[in-house]
Amino acid sequence: RKVVTLLQAMQQKVTAEGEKAQELYEKFECYCKTSGGDLGASIEAAEAKLEEVAPAIEASTSKKAKIEEELTASKEEREACKTAMAEA
């Protein structure tokens, strides 16, 4: 009798777990079916924005390089002026 009760309890537990797994699978399946369009639209919007931002990034990069060159030249000029003042 004890074994039968134990087996019945295990059967109920396994059945409950199976129902829960089925429920989760159905939720996941629904998510996959409905979210595909949203994700596709989001990807297209991001790619369009990337095309808009890329030239601005390139312009900023070249501007940064130019400013760094000017800074280096200014530092060299400053050092030359310090040296000239020290000699004078």
Q: What is the pTM of this model?
A: 0.46
Give dist(CA 80, CA 78) in Å, integer: 5
Give dist(CA 40, CA 43) in Å, integer: 5
Q: What's the CA angle centered on 49, arms 45 and 55, to 5 degrees?
A: 160
Q: pLDDT tens, 17-72?
A: 999 999 998 888 877 777 777 777 888 888 888 888 988 999 999 999 999 999 99
